[in-house]
Amino acid sequence: MKILLMVNITKLQNSYLRIKDFINKTPILISEKLNQDFNASFYLKNEVEQVTGSFKIRGALSALSKLKENNINGVVAYSSGNHAQGVSKAAQIFDMHAIIVMPEDAPQNKIDKTLANGAEVVLYKRHIESREEIALKIADEKQYPLVKPFDNEDIIAGQGSFGLEACEYFIQNDITPNIVLSCTSGGGLVAGTSIAFKHYFPDVEIYPVEPATCNDTEISLRNKTRTRLKNHQKTICDALEVEIPGEITFPINLKNCTAGIAVTDQEVCFAMKYLYDNLNVIAEPSGCVSLAAILSGKIECEGKKVLVTISGGNVDDNDFSKYLKLAKD
């Protein structure tokens, strides 16, 4: 319960004041076809248009701005790509040194963009080596703080700015949302978003959405305790590959979320194609799991007002074409 009190609406609002001048207030998109297809009202918040192409910059700016206030000039982080870009960009903005531990199989465009932001990249073998151990060793050697991708209060508060902006949209347009669908890995985005929505709309139902092969949050919510995956399998949703929810994020999500939802890679490919065909948005696989939950019928939305998270668009052109082809097969 202590954790819940430490990450609250005031912390989100203070974080937003620190970062709002460095981020884009991303748009809410409306698809008439999607609304008609499911007889509901969908509001797609598009983080593809965010700085670095994903929501992760929000949390990174929140965490690094606090560290900079305390005269910290370097950080270590680990990430499959989007947190890496967020931290490296935030470090560039605040003139800090960033060392990022990334898997060798991370999309090359994510590695390249992280390097372009001036960060130092250390590669590791996913599922063989421990990124946490490598990062902790570097942090100890450099005497830099480790900025975790989700288990960090300032990261959660920064990701919550996504929820604050969405709530502001609904309030200004006199809309009461019924459902929030959030892409989920360790749970930072859904935790921050849920704090905002439960403050302004207490009756809203919040659903974390994950790949079916990495559904640790779905299982943990069902078990009401953090549960590590026994059999981890690869997914095209590279940004959502974790084996257990965060220690800080999970209690928040257990309190605020209704249940977890899992979608297949095939369903994600179809969602990517649907989004591109109807709204001309190029989103990465991880960014489309919330839409995939709707299109695959994993959640009943008829007559409801639904926030759909499109969390990022960092996908290679060749991979995007391949995924669109898979959607047709």
Final residue of a domain: which of 142, 160, 195? 142
In a domain, 321, yes or no: yes
In a domain? residue 74? yes
Overall domain count for the chain: 2
Domain boundary among 95, 121, 142: 142
**289: domain range?**
2-54+152-328
Residues 160 and 67 in one domain: no
Residue 147 within a domain? no
CATH value at residue 72? 3.40.50.1100
76 and 166 inside one domain: no
- Answer with the one of 142, 166, 188 that is the final residue of a domain: 142
pTM of the model: 0.95
Smallest Cα–Cα separation from 167: which of 311, 6, 292, 25? 25
Same domain for 12 and 105? no
Query: According to the model, what pLDDT value does residue 277 have?
Result: 97
Domain identity same for 95 and 9 = no
Residue 76: what are its φ and ψ, rounded to 5°? -120, 140
Assess if residue 309 is contained within a domain. yes
Instruction: Give the model's pLDDT for residue 329.
Output: 64
In a domain, 294, yes or no: yes
45 and 91 in a single domain? The answer is no
Tokens coding 191? 């935790």
Query: Domain check: are 174 and 301 in the same one?
Result: yes
Are 243 and 160 in a shared domain? yes
Same domain? For 137 and 166 the reply is: no
Average pLDDT by consecutive 10-residue portion of the chain (329 residues)? 68 98 98 98 98 96 97 94 94 98 89 95 91 96 96 97 98 98 97 98 98 97 96 88 94 98 98 98 98 98 98 94 89
Mark whether 172 and 285 lie in a shared domain.
Answer: yes
Phi and psi of 147, rounded to 5°?
A: -100, 100
Asked if 163 and 252 sit in the same domain, the reply is yes
Cα dist. 85→116, 151, 198 in Å?
A: 9, 17, 29
In this structure, the answer to whether residues 37 and 62 fall within a common structural domain is: no
Is residue 196 assigned to a domain? yes
In angstroms, the CA 225 to CA 239 distance is 23
C-alpha distances out from residue 101 to 187, 311, 316, Å: 20, 22, 20
